[in-house]
A and B are shown apart, each in its own frame.
Chain A
Amino acid sequence: MSKPVPVPTPETQQYWDKAAQHELWLPYCEVDSKFIFYPRSFCPICGTSDIHWRQLSGRGTLASFIINHRAAPGYEGEAPYVMALVELEEGPRLMSNILEVEPKPEALRVGMPLEVVFEERGDITVPQFRPSSEGDRS
């Protein structure tokens, strides 16, 4: 079984189009000076439609995680694997796997720096994160 893929909606299409180009983009509210996740066509804080898509750095830190011992369809053979919430440098928080790391508690630390990588799943490209190649500066 292959890994699950998203079905984009008109409001999220650009997120997935940019991911296919190995870039991380989100809508940005010009009024509140904040990125909006998940993507929508207006700002849920102030209601303005004055939003524009901007690229994010792809750098973040590990906000929380678990190590999943029971594989989801498509993840057979990969358990245990790390599921995480990643806090991006620019503010938004995304779910991700943590790739290129031992799936052990001692290899993971809340606050550890991460960077985006992109995983191809058929016609869709999925943003993923791995420990920062710049190392742990904290």
Chain B
Amino acid sequence: MSKEIVIVGAAESTRIGTVPDQSAMQLGTDAALQAISDAGMSISDIDGVASTLQTVELAHHLGIRTRYLDGTVVGGCSYMLHVRHAVAALRDGKASAVLVVHGESGRSRVGMAPRLPDPSGPGGQFERIYGVSGTFSSFTLPVMAYLDKYGLGEEALAEVSVAQSRWSSQNPRALRQEVLTVESVLASRLIAWPFHIVECCPLTDGGGALLLTTAERAADLDLKHPAVTIVGTGESSEGPGVSFMDDLTTFRGFRDASSEALRDADMNTGDIEHLMIYDAYAHLPLYGLEDLGFVGRGEAAEFIRSGATSPGGSLPMNTNGGGLMYTHTGMYGMFALTEAVRQLQHRAAAQVDGVRTSMVQGVGGMFGAAGTVVLQRR
């Protein structure tokens, strides 16, 4: 039996949304210090750092003497991969406490390196030249193939935002708290038809952090909240852009990473009581529910419309409001993880009664990479 690895600290930056007076590093370290405090640990107890921030800078900034560094950056799901790698390192004794950190000034761009697209990469040569003006005009591009295949209209996307607004309306930290209707979604400003503004993630500033260690170590700690066990993980990738997907109606990364995580956890979808699917755009929960195996092909839109993923439904999903409604700093994956941990610790803003098992599915790039984490409160 392999060592049990647990999350002993999970926190988000004190401020979230528009934070023009804090850098990406400040947002990340604010969350990191809270996570360390929640675990009853101190900086000198930490020997591993994983982040999308520059890891050497981050470790130095926090005063951590490292023997484990993970600078994996594959987009918004990087943190799911960080967790997966940290579990392996902690089991193997290559680290004793690993801090996973997200800090991004996505809106205000304070302390952020300039974005320099590479005009010679696959995306630069074969996608960006066609007027890609942001992720909203490329990540969204496969959607008509999906809607056409299953005879669905633009309402299928609107229902995703409607369902998630029912969660965000209960969350005082959410950027978009208004309860939406299909009509109000379809009447909102068009960004890239069939996507309206509330079917696209906002761009915000924020940070988040997780602190991982062994269950053995955690037993000796004075934890502020119950430890959450990492019972399964998976990671995968498909390609460098939507042009390079095998099939426009399904994401291989979702399929491969999630099936590996469930195998790792020795679980099936029926065991999952709470679900987070990274939703930068409203089609992602549709692809995710089907690719992860929660519903059959073409059934996700009706499942969401039926209320199954809304408060009181059989499969509460994106309960912080999701990237669409809660916050989206650019690499949102950390916030899907912190929400799942909060739910399992029974301290979420919109708490699901008695939830003990959660699955968190991330995506990176434009249907590029994927990472899955299955969590359990024991």
Contacts and interface: CB of A to CB of B under 8 A. Distances in A.
A104 to B, nearest CB: 9
A7 B131 contact: no
A24 B236 CA distance: 32
Given A71-B131, A110-B148, A66 B141 contact: yes
B253 to A, nearest CB: 17
Interface string A1-41: 00111111100100000000000000000000000011000
A68 B142 contact: no
Given A6-B119, A12-B125, A85 B145 contact: yes
B191 A83 contact: no
Contacts of A83: 130-132, 137-138, 141, 192
A70 B136 contact: yes
A80 B145 CA distance: 20
B290 to A, nearest CB: 17
A117 interface: no
A85 B129 CA distance: 13
A6 B137 contact: no
Contacts of B146: 64
B128 interface: yes
B63 interface: no
Contacts of B194: 66, 105
A68 B130 CA distance: 11
A85 B248 contact: yes
Nearest to A128: B130
Interface in A49-97: 63-75, 78, 80-81, 83-85, 93-97
A110 to B, nearest CB: 4
A78 B135 CA distance: 18
A64 B145 contact: yes
B137 to A, nearest CB: 4
Contact of A85 (B133, B134, B136, B243): B243
Given A8-B120, A93-B243, A70 B144 contact: no
B243 A94 contact: yes
Most buried by B among A69, A94, A95: A95
A70 B191 contact: yes
Interface in B124-173: 124-134, 136-138, 140-146, 148
Nearest to B137: A68
B71 interface: no
B124 A94 contact: no
Contacts of B192: 66-70, 83
Most buried by A among B132, B242, B243: B243
B272 to A, nearest CB: 30
Nearest to A16: B125
Contacts of B191: 69-70
B284 to A, nearest CB: 15
A66 B143 contact: yes
B145 A72 contact: no
Contacts of B243: 37, 85, 93-95
Given A12-B125, A95-B141, A68 B119 contact: no
B122 interface: yes
A7 B119 contact: yes
Interface string A90-128: 000111110000000100001100000000010000100
B332 interface: no
A59 B11 CA distance: 53
Contacts of B122: 38
A34 to B, nearest CB: 13
A4 B132 CA distance: 10
9 contacts: A4-B119, A6-B124, A6-B125, A64-B144, A66-B144, A66-B193, A67-B193, A72-B132, A94-B126
Given A8-B120, A67-B192, A111-B148, 8 more contacts: A6-B120, A37-B243, A63-B248, A67-B193, A68-B131, A70-B192, A72-B131, A80-B190
